[in-house]
A and B are shown apart, each in its own frame.
Chain A
Amino acid sequence: MRTLDSLTLPADWVGIRLMQERSSQRSLRNGLPETNRRSRLEGAMVEVMVNGQMGYAATNHLTVEGLRSAAQRAFDHAQAAVRWRIHDFRASHIRPTVMGIYQSPVEQPLDAIAPREINDVLARICHGLKVSDKIVQTVATASLHEVDTWLVSSSGSQIHQRFSFVATHFGATAQDGAIVQTRSHNGPRSQCYQGGWERLQGSDDLWASVHRVGEQALELLTAEDCPELTTTLVLAPDQMMLQIHESIGHPLELDRILGDERNYAGGSFVQPEDFGSLRYGSELLNVTFDPTVEAEFASYAFDDTGVVADREYLIRNGRLERGLGSHESQARLGVPGVACARATSWDRPPLDRMANLNIEPGDTPFAVLIGSIEDGVYMEANQSWSIDDQRYKFQFGCEYAKRIRRGKFAETLRNPNYRATTPQFWHSLVQVGDRDTWQAFGTPYCGKGEPNQIIRVGHGSPVCAFANIEVFGGAA
């Protein structure tokens, strides 16, 4: 605040977002260390608005002089671009005045866990995954991040948020000659939560999961390839995570619809006039933006511009209601949005981002859902993902699948893939599992923006069933 108070720039608004991050990453392969890495980084983003144009300067020189110098550079950047500004952002709500704090729920603080203890657990996991000589590789990883952010502004905002992130992963690769299959704990690095060490060690079924992953990697070696057919597709929450992310989250980002992202990740098939009217999917589809879910990976109380974060429906009973757009995007497009202006770190400006984007549970128990399907395929855990720049045509692959015959799981299938277009897919949603089938996962690797940014997102979903979807297998 002292730095801010000392600035004499003739600016409309000045904000400083300071960030300190402490992390450790430990990985073992076949029970031997691959990575023992820590980090301790800090820096500040200074944003200055001049005649409605924002300029920024990021620096890790966290002295009064360093911040003052950054503020001057940000001012100069804004001033040089005013003539070509895309929008006049001087409206007061663009950067609201807010005071508050947030802290992740933590039972076992990360700094209370000895490195030896973490490595011991990871080594035991590797050992447990090795259920056969045909398991040629086992991996186990734990990434722990503690992040403090402070946001202060010339309009009086003072926010402090303290996050504790835990991301774990383990998996096994089985090989028999030319056949190679990998199975992991709900897909690559999907076990991402806020909290402490309890997120891994406190899990009652950890060791059962370890054994199951090893056994299923082995099972896939002799499984049939997924057949090519059009059928009922049932997706587990660990694949729904990816499905939500790619074909609901990204197309609903207002900055994509505005065109900001067209040179990199792409635009969207969704048009501005679709909000309030478009039938995005079947009536069973209910999607919320919800940064208030305790322990979900992308929970927070304020976005990186200081907007208070609340739960909002994006899609209700299949109808599109609002987009994933910050106050800036809402002002430019005239469409309702959410508190989602987020930056990957102190060195990038905030963008329209997903946070926790969830599908609300329905009322069909899992046994009833599977029992109602005469012929279908059930898939778990993402392995491959690709979608076009308008978020329309996609093809996704999973680690593990089961054929469903006459209401029961039948043979195991390997290399399961499926493809569809986004509207067709969500209109094919025919069953939504109940609360007991709902699970939340996350990923630290959502990429977007120029300059590029990755960010943490969380996605919760029940088990869902889709009619008449093309599924197919592997091989050239």
Chain B
Amino acid sequence: MTWETTFNQLMDALLPQLHEDEGMQLSLTGEASQFTRFNRAKVRQTGSVTKGSMVLSLMRRDRTISETLTFTGDKGLDWPRLLKSLHALRAELDHLPSDPYLVLPSGTATSREVYSGALLSPEAVAPTLMPLLEGLDAAGLYAGGRCVRAYADSIGQRHWFETETFTLDYSLFTAAGQAVKGTYAGRHWDDTAYASTLDASKTLLGRMAQARKSLARGQYRTYLAPAAVAELVGMLSWGGIGESSIRRGGSALGPLHRGDRTLSSKFSLLEDFSQGQVPRFNPQGELAELTLPLIDAGHLRNTLVSTRTAKEYDLASNWADPSEALRSPVMSPGDLPTADVLTALDTGLYVSNLHYLNWSDRPNGRITGMTRYACFWVENGAIVAPIENLRFDESLYTFWGDALLDLTQETMFVPEVGSYEYRHLGGSQVPGLLVDRFAYTL
């Protein structure tokens, strides 16, 4: 029996158990994944994880409670748990405080998206990956398999999203510890594409063999490659673009919202679900619009508004995730051909990746973090040497504001390779970013 069949059967069995004045939502997250971790081109840990969990939410009048419980895909095991959970939640519901912003299921949305892939079989992962890594100091993780997100509720909405994907996320190192980052991701494994991705990394690694240049603190003209830009965009999910954080004083975009600060007319950001990388439905079964402009030519056009936030502040929901985090961000390109990046940079820093970002002053939009991987000092449009990593501390109102010179014409999809709890889906589509100053502090 497939997981989809089991999920639907569980929902069908659950519906008659509901009382007339109750509402209910059931969501599912599941995966069957292979993970192979390697270090120094040897296998460190290898295995598979098959897991699923359901969240059952029960509502009555203005109260709600939810429980996360195990989903195995075997109805004989899952149904008793689900029924027991329903009874336990019902018993507790009346003892909870009233929730004025409770969102009850509404709408008539249904969807079904299934993306099948051609992945490496578990026994083929090591024999496929490792021979090409021989002789390299390589560390990384192959993660591949099937991921499922699903939703159903008491008013008949149902969604099913299933995708088979892989990510190979790796680093190659020189003997001195200098590194380059590589990522190969998709739905269909291709040996040739893997080899060519690795070859490109090896070529870049060759440039890292020179002695590192130590730079003094200060402001430098900087090119931030797409992977670095994706890190900066990701910060907007954490006290940035969410309406609730703006309303409660916790957003870095508060100054933009109030009109105290401005962003460059070259900076535009939207949510775009057209590539099917992630489900369009959220954990409440609401379908987002295919695209939603957020920042348009420097102006804050929309924030991400969940239905709960909309209810609290009397706004219109745009069916954001309850966390009001970005789910499928796309940053618009600019006019700079990627081939001309070094020429346009002239003299300054080429930053391929950023690491460990955090707000250093969120109400003012200031972010700190580190340069990482292949970062170079460039003079007169030519790479001089890799650099010793630097700490930066800079405001988004600078690098997306008055310091923004141009964006590359080409954008790159930077896949999400995280796997906290479950393998994460999606990624960011972003260009490179050229700024005339970026503050490095340590």
**Nearest CB of chain A from residue B391's CB, rounded to whole Å:** 5
The interface residues of chain B lying within 8 Å CB-to-CB of A115 are 92, 95-96
> Which of B40, B44, B50, B360 neighbours the largest number of chain A CB atoms within 10 Å of its CB?
B44
Interface residues of B in 182-232 (CB under 8 A from A): none
B25 within 8 A of A: no
With A136-B249, A347-B51, A395-B442 already in contact, the answer to whether A119 and B361 are too (CB < 8 A) is no
Chain A residue contacts of B68, Cβ below 8 A: 37-41
B133 CB, nearest partner CB in chain A, Å: 9
Q: Sample 22 A-B pairs with CB under 8 A, ordered by A number.
A: A32-B97, A33-B98, A38-B66, A40-B68, A41-B70, A60-B71, A73-B48, A74-B47, A76-B123, A123-B97, A137-B248, A259-B173, A263-B181, A347-B49, A349-B45, A386-B360, A393-B389, A450-B141, A450-B169, A451-B49, A474-B366, A476-B361
- Count of inter-chain pairs, beta carbons less than 8 A: 256
- A397 contacts B360, CB within 8 Å? yes
Contacting pair A393 B391 (CB below 8 A)? yes
A74-B48, A83-B127 given; name 15 further pairs at CB < 8 Å.
A41-B68, A58-B49, A77-B34, A80-B124, A80-B125, A81-B126, A85-B43, A86-B39, A178-B255, A260-B44, A349-B45, A388-B356, A393-B389, A395-B442, A450-B37
Nearest to B356 among chain A residues (CB) is A386
Encode B386-401 as 1/0 by CB contact (under 8 A) with A: 0001010101011000
Chain A interface residue bracket vs B: 35 or more
Bound form: Cα–Cα A475–B255 in Å: 12
A249 at the interface (CB under 8 A from B): no
In the complex, identify which listed stretch (A48-56, A93-101, A296-304, A401-409) lies at the interface while the others stay far away.
Answer: A48-56
Residues of B within 8 A of A41 (CB): 53, 68-70
Q: Once the chains bind, are A451 and B356 in contact (CB under 8 Å)?
A: no
Taken residue by residue from 91 to 108, chain B's Cβ proximity to chain A (1 for < 8 Å, 0 otherwise) reads as 010011111110000000
Query: Does any Cβ of A come within 8 Å of B81's Cβ?
Result: yes
Tell me how many residues of B have a C-beta within 8 Å of chain A: 97
Q: A447 an interface residue at 8 Å Cβ cutoff?
A: yes
Is B177 an interface residue when CB atoms closer than 8 A count as contact?
A: yes
Measured between beta carbons, the chain A residues less than 8 angstroms from B363 are 178-180, 474
Which residues from B are CB-within-8-Å of A475?
Answer: 361, 364, 366
Cross-chain contact A476 with B35 (CB below 8 angstroms): no
Contacts of B170 in A (CB 8 A): 263
- Contact: B370 with A476, CB < 8 Å? no
B320 within 8 A of A: no
The CA of A81 and the CA of B125, in the complex, are separated in Å by: 9
Bound Cα distance A409, B410 (Å): 55
| A119: chain B residues within 8 A (beta carbon) | 96-97
CB distance from B202 to the nearest CB of A (A): 16
Q: Judge if B429 is at the interface, Cβ distance under 8 Å.
A: no
A43 in contact with B70 given A54-B45, A452-B419 (CB within 8 Å): yes
The reply to whether the CB of B85 lies closer than 8 angstroms to some CB of chain A is yes
Q: Which residues of B contact A260 (CB under 8 A)?
A: 37, 39, 44, 139
Are A387 and B248 in contact, CB atoms less than 8 angstroms apart?
no
Q: Is the CB–CB distance between B74 and A61 below 8 Å?
A: yes
CB distance from B22 to the nearest CB of A (A): 15
Measured CA separation A18–B81 after assembly (Å) = 18
CA distance A4 to B283 in the complex (A): 39
Query: Considering the complex of A and B, which 7 residue pairs feature the smallest CB-CB distances, nearest first?
Result: A56-B47, A474-B361, A39-B68, A450-B141, A476-B395, A86-B42, A451-B419
Chain A residues with Cβ below 8 Å from B366 are 474-476
Task: With CB as the reference atom, state the residue of chain A lying closest to B96.
Answer: A36
Residue A267 at the B interface, CB < 8 A? yes
